[in-house]
Amino acid sequence: MSQNLGTIWSKMSCFLCPQGLHSTRLLLSPHRADPSSAKKKKNTSETKRAGSSLHKMKKERVTLKSEIALLKYEYRLRITSYHETSYASIPRPKGLSTAMYYKIRGMHELDYIEPMKLESIQEKELRIKAVDEDIWLRNPVPFSSVLEACDFLRDESPVMNSVEPTLSGRMYRFNATKIEGMLFSGIRKLTALALKDATVSKHFLIAVLGGSGLGKTDTLHRIRRDGTLRGKIAEHVSASSDGRMPCQHCVALFASFNESTPFDQVPYDAATEPNVTAALCNMLLSHYLGVECSLALTRWFTRLTLEDVVNYVQQREAAMHNCALSAVCVVVLVDEVGKLGDVRAKQLCDELLAVQHSSMRAGLPIFAVAAGLEVDSMFATVTRSSKHRLHPVTLSPCSP
């Protein structure tokens, strides 16, 4: 009998104690919903709404980018000459049909007002900036890989190539032979250092040096655009590497820390940018994909490094050309390094040299060419403050 009473009492206690009341809530009140279940449903619905809102913002961003690309395309056609050849240098925005292309080409016959078009471009860019800020606040997660960054950047506006003549083109032509000779000499020396397994302290940056207006930026652009010159670079790498780097193709990546930007976009500000590497990766990858660089996206690149970007480009080019990684040479062109200031310029040069050294040591041809460095003279072999070793490509003024 006492055993039966004990059993009954233990069963009753589970209902009377707080734990018992908690564990048997549904038995005592089956009509009440479980608060934890309702909370889960609420969290799930909030997550879905947040995801839907994020998707809408990204969709709006893509639409705005397409509209801006079309407006810039129309604007560029309107301000250039109306000769047939002028259109060939202007890329078409993504998704532009042939019919629309010819319609835009005929717009110069109409009375369009360029200031209004520019104002519309700037308004849409301000809206994109606000959308970017909202996207970041809702999902402040940087790109985890270069591939993820590429997927995002493909929605950016295509770069509008300049059709205006460069001011220092005559200077470049005057220095062309000398530039190629000094450039190839630097490449051969770096290749020889790689064969000797030299330390990073022995490596140097190829630096384009010269006074204002002599064509430092034009020299970098010449390397970037001239396929024949890049082909010669590949030949010199292959010939001087004893078969370790049988280079067949050469691709150039470009970044500039210049203050001027097209269509009054916000320029790069070295004083407020906390991560020079992220800015460099953003500019290099945007150039490689042929899209305009949006400096507002730099914070998404904080997890990526220069080595990540260079390795991605090398692997992609090797796959496209069906060749080995060692057959693809990557030239990293960086302009206006001096505008970063001593500390950030040193950080940038350190990274350029480190990636160049580690890649060359592994038998992968990577070269860095910089312009706008702080030096004591146009024949300097070291930078002014950080004392980085340089191989100067010196530009000389031509006679009038």
**For the segment 72-96, what is each residue's pLDDT rounded down to a tens digit?**
766 666 655 444 444 445 555 555 5
Q: What is the pLDDT of residue 186?
A: 96
Is 305 among the domain residues? yes
Three-state SS for 64? helix
Q: What is the pLDDT of residue 5?
A: 47
Residues 310, 236: one domain?
yes
Task: Assess whether pLDDT exceeds 90 at residue 59.
Answer: no
Number of domains the chain is built from: 2
For range 189-215, the mean pLDDT: 90
Query: Of 14-28, 358-372, 385-399, which gets the smallest average pLDDT?
Result: 14-28
Q: What is the pLDDT of residue 176?
A: 85
Higher-confidence residue: 204 or 378?
204
CA distance 72 to 118: 8
CA distance 182 to 184: 6
Is 1 among the domain residues? no
Q: What is the pLDDT of residue 80?
A: 54
Q: What is the pLDDT of residue 324?
A: 94
Residues 204, 283: one domain?
yes
Is 27 among the domain residues? no
For range 308-333, the mean pLDDT: 96
Q: What is the pLDDT of residue 362?
A: 92
Q: What pTM value is reported for the model? A: 0.72
Is 14 among the domain residues? no
What is the crossing angle of helices 216-225 and 227-240, to 10°?
80
Q: What is the pLDDT of residue 18?
A: 44
Q: What is the pLDDT of residue 356?
A: 96
Residues 206, 66: one domain?
no
Rg of the chain over all Cα atoms, to the nearest angstrom: 30
Q: What is the pLDDT of residue 126?
A: 81
The range of the structural domain enclosing residue 274 comes to 169-394
Residues 234, 324: one domain?
yes
- Give the tens place of pLDDT for each residue, 168-178: 566 667 788 88
Residues 173, 127: one domain?
no
Residue after which a domain boundary falls, among 101, 122, 140: 140
Query: What number of other Cβ atoms are within 10 A of residue 285's Cβ?
Result: 26
Residues 109, 225: one domain?
no
Which residues 6+ apart lie within 8 Å of 109 measured at CB? none
- Give the tens place of pLDDT for each residue, 135-149: 777 777 889 999 999
Q: What is the pLDDT of residue 4?
A: 52
Is 156 among the domain residues? no
- Mean confidence (pLDDT) of the chain: 77
Residue after which a domain boundary falls, among 140, 155, 178: 140
Higher-confidence residue: 94 or 59?
59
- Confidence tier at 99 by pLDDT (50, 70, 90): low
Residues 115, 178: one domain?
no
Residue after which a domain boundary falls, among 140, 158, 180: 140
Determine contact, residues 361/197, Cβ cutoff 8 Å.
yes
For range 8-26, the mean pLDDT: 45
The residue type of 150 is C
Is 48 among the domain residues? yes
For range 30-53, the mean pLDDT: 53
Is 150 among the domain residues? no
CA distance 190 to 391: 10
Cα atoms in the Cβ-side hemisphere of radius 13 Å centred on 321: 18
Q: Which of 133, 3, 125 is nearest to 67 (CA)?
A: 125
Q: What is the pLDDT of residue 51?
A: 52
Residues 73, 178: one domain?
no
Higher-confidence residue: 330 or 71?
330
- Give the tens place of pLDDT for each residue, 262-305: 443 455 565 556 689 999 999 999 999 988 888 878 889 999 99
Is 324 among the domain residues? yes
Residues 230, 347: one domain?
yes
Task: Assess whether pLDDT exceeds 70 at residue 164.
Answer: no
Residues 89, 188: one domain?
no
Higher-confidence residue: 393 or 153?
393
Residues 122, 177: one domain?
no
Q: What is the pLDDT of residue 68?
A: 74
Residues 238, 353: one domain?
yes
Tell me which range, 3-12, 38-47, 160-169, 382-391, is most confidently predicted by mean pLDDT.
382-391
